[in-house]
Chain A
Amino acid sequence: GQQVMQIPQYQHVQEGEDFTTYCNSSTTLSNIQWYKQRPGGHPVFLIQLVKSGEVKKQKRLTFQFGEAKKNSSLHITATQTTDVGTYFCAGPEVGGAQKLVFGQGTRLTINP
């Protein structure tokens, strides 16, 4: 079946370092979404990318959607302790209406 893979599974950085997580889909996606889950919390929608090659920024976060619409990345510049959490990407299931297929997530921990 359709799969969405994320790497790395875990990342530990020093505060102030940059962080990147990568997302790869086994199928072409109509859009890709990113979510953040703080420890003990619930996933929160961050952003949706729709166009091939699209780049969007939210303050220190930069999101990219690949040209082939099968991969995406999230880059955080100069991490802060508030960035701690697990970042998930998700794409619509082919033929699945509004069903999403989630990646397994990248857990980010930060040493202050």
Chain B
Amino acid sequence: NAGVTQTPKFQVLKTGQSMTLQCAQDMNHEYMSWYRQDPGMGLRLIHYSVGAGITDQGEVPNGYNVSRSTTEDFPLRLLSAAPSQTSVYFCASTPPGAYEQYFGPGTRLTVT
């Protein structure tokens, strides 16, 4: 198993641009989530999904969209990038019936 994969590893955007951060897992996990990590702020939940076709907002959803058309993929879309979205983004998945989360390697995003 490749586990949780994320692309790209690094990205620089200009204010107003849009982009999609990719996340995929090959462990057949139903629950997937997106976090952002900023210095001193810990991990903050952006959006999550309990299965294909089902998504919901987390703590900081504004400026982000998600979709879950398959169990494997959970992309995060930035609609119109802002400097406040400069952060490290982690995708995670959780085995059925469990709570522990398996994180991807992260995407470091800079918005200028």
Binding site for B on A (CB under 8 A): 9, 31, 33, 35, 41-45, 48, 88, 90, 92, 97-100, 102-105
Cβ contact of B103, chosen from A33, A44, A103, cutoff 8 A = A44
Give the secondary structure class of B's interface. Answer: strand
Contact status A88-B43, CB under 8 Å: yes
Give CA–CA (A33, B100) in the complex, Å.
Answer: 7
Query: Which residue from chain A places its CB closest to the CB of B92 in the assembled complex?
Result: A43
Q: Are A97 and B90 in contact (CB under 8 A)?
A: no
Taking a contact as CB atoms under 8 Å apart, the answer to whether A98 and B42 are in contact is no
Q: Which residue of A lies closest to B43 (CB)?
A: A102
Q: Chain A nearest CB: distance from B91 CB in Å? A: 9
Kindly provide the distance from the CB of A110 to the nearest chain B CB, expressed in whole angstroms. 20
Tell me if B90 and A48 are in contact (CB < 8 A). Answer: no
Known contacts A97-B31, A98-B50: does B103 contact A105 (CB below 8 Å)? no
The number of chain B residues with a CB under 8 A from chain A is 22
Q: Are A45 and B50 in contact (CB under 8 A)?
A: no
Known: A43-B101, A90-B101; 8 extra A-B contacts, CB below 8 A, are A42-B104, A43-B103, A45-B101, A88-B42, A97-B50, A99-B58, A104-B41, A104-B42
Contacts of A88 in B (CB 8 A): 42-43
> B100 — which chain A residues lie within 8 A by C-beta?
33, 45, 48
Whether the Cβ atoms of B42 and A105 lie closer than 8 Å is yes
